[in-house]
Amino acid sequence: MIRKGRYKLIHFFEDKWSELYDYHQDLNETNDLSQSRIREKQLMEKELFAWWKETEAALPLILMLFQKVKKQRGLKVAKAKEIKNDRGRK
């Protein structure tokens, strides 16, 4: 997750997907702007990924490897949207 100006970007490792919110107008994070504010999303992703690399941040590799094994075995791999919906969010 990264905040910059009025925007907040949340990155999901499970499927390498990011959501973008304007937290000045959408504190509940109900309106994902990642498809309408593509440039802002890309810039924030670039900054976030560079920070991870620079700081050698511990990323959830075990989760990603687990998802890869599930795919190889033909098991269902939940997408971030499905996980959110399980939590009552859209």
- What torsion do the CA atoms of 77, 79, 80, 84 make, to the nearest 10 degrees? -90
Order the strands of the 2-4 sheet from edge to edge.
2-4, 7-12, 17-22
Q: What is the model's pLDDT at position 47?
A: 96
pLDDT tens-digit map of 13-46: 777 889 999 999 999 999 999 999 999 999 999 9
pLDDT tens-digit map of 59-71: 776 666 766 777 7
Single pTM value for the model: 0.66
pLDDT of 80 strictly over 60:
no
User: What is the fold, at CATH topology level, of the domain defined by 2-86?
Assistant: Arylsulfatase, C-terminal domain (3.30.1120)
